[in-house]
């Protein structure tokens, strides 16, 4: 069950980094949705490797194939299967670690749990699996766009370089105009050169992806354990290399008094209920309140570095692991569409839960 997510809009991903293909089966997508294959491909293109010199140089077309669930350009309401064939595999790059445990990878834990592991790029633990999530998330975005919901993510931090401008003051339309996917061109340039310097050192660096969701209706989320922010947190923490999640004021909120942090509720002339501030991040009591939802996702430095590191092998002998292969020095630029995809899957799943619950008998 570890490869299945969602209750109504449900995805099941499959495939390994160096297997034949990676893909996803989506169940619960409403019938009659216009299936924009070009849009889904464009979302995959944002995630694919080889985009610039600060990303892995593995060359994958990541061309999406739709196997079922679509007829004459519309979803049929039946399971939708999509897959991407792997192409530029260099499994020999990993032969030297066939019996070695790489520091901060899933090598040891997979071996301890299953008694074997696919050492070629990490197999199922590889971020290559997120191809499937982006495809499913793009489909969710197509549905949500018809409901007026918009999800935008961007890089807000790389290492110690932090974008401090509030999201409301950023021009998010320029996020895709640079390789880092930071909506501040000056900061984006600094981040790019910093990542490139880290790459030249054979090292890696972490960062933060921020997300901003508008157009969500009031009422998404369920008490008590299926709170909207809890599901968003679970979805984000399931992404490779994610080490932290916070929404709204997050950890900074602990520095405020209640009188400073509370979001005062008002009723506008048109009858709409609003809050004067949004420290809650658009979610109160685990349920959306109609305000923009915003959150931040922290990614660790990529575990594979081009430097020798101490470790052990499967026999427990001390060894030296040498970094080889093609890897991102910083994952966050390519993680932006993954964060958006998982957010879209969560929001659509909750929207459909409400729709089912509220359907007349």
Q: What residue numbers does the annotated binding site cover?
A: 47, 53, 124-126, 240-241, 285, 300-304, 326
Which residues, at least 6 apart from 74, have a Cβ–Cβ distance to it below 8 Å?
A: 31, 32, 33, 34, 35
Annotated binding site for FMN: 124-126, 240-241, 285, 300-304, 326
Cβ-defined contacts of 34-42 (< 8 Å, 24+): 34/73, 34/74, 34/142, 35/66, 35/70, 35/73, 35/74, 35/75, 35/139, 35/142, 36/142, 37/64, 37/66, 39/138, 39/141, 39/142, 40/64, 40/82, 40/135, 40/138, 40/139, 40/142
Q: Count the neighbouring beta carbons within 10 Å of the beta carbon of residue 202.
A: 12
The token pair that represents 331 in the structure block? 């994952």
R_g of the chain, CA atoms, integer Å: 21
* Largest interatomic CA distance in the chain: 72
Annotated binding site for NADP(+): 47, 53
Q: Could you please report the per-residue DSSP string of 311-332?
A: EEBTT--EEEE---S---S--H
């Amino acid at each position: 069950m570890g490869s299945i997510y969602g209750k109504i809009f449900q995805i099941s991903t499959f495939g390994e980094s160096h297997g034949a293909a990676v893909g996803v089966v989506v169940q619960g997508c409403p019938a009659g949705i216009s299936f924009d294959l070009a849009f889904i491909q464009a979302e995959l293109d944002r995630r694919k490797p080889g985009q610039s010199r600060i990303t892995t140089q593995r060359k994958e077309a990541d061309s999406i194939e739709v196997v079922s669930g679509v007829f004459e350009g519309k979803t049929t309401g039946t399971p939708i299967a999509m897959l991407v064939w792997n192409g530029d595999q260099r499994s020999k790059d990993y032969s030297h670690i066939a019996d070695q445990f790489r520091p901060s990878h899933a090598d040891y834990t997979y071996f301890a749990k299953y008694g074997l592991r696919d050492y070629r790029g990490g197999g199922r633990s590889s971020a290559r699996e997120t191809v499937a999530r982006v495809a499913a998330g793009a489909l969710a975005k197509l549905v949500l766009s018809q409901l007026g919901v918009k999800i935008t993510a961007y890089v807000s931090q790389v290492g110690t370089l932090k974008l401090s401008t509030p999201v409301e003051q950023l021009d998010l339309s320029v996020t895709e105009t640079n390789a880092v996917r930071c909506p501040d061109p000056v900061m984006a340039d600094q981040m790019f050169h910093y990542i490139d310097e880290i790459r030249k050192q054979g090292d890696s660096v972490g960062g933060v992806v921020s997300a901003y969701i508008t157009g969500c209706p009031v009422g998404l989320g369920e008490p008590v354990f299926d709170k909207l922010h809890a599901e968003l947190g679970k979805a984000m923490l399931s992404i490779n290399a994610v080490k932290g999640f916070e929404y709204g004021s997050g950890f900074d909120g602990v520095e405020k008094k209640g009188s400073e942090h509370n979001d005062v509720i008002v009723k506008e002339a048109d009858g709409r209920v609003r809050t004067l501030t949004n420290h809650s991040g658009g979610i109160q009591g685990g349920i959306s309140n109609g305000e923009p939802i915003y959150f931040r996702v922290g990614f660790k430095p990529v575990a594979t570095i081009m430097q020798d590191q101490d470790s052990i092998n499967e026999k427990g002998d001390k060894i030296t692991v040498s970094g080889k292969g093609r890897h991102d020095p910083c994952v966050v630029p390519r993680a932006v569409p993954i964060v958006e995809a998982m957010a879209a899957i969560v929001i659509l799943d909750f929207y459909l839960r409400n729709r089912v619950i509220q359907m007349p008998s």
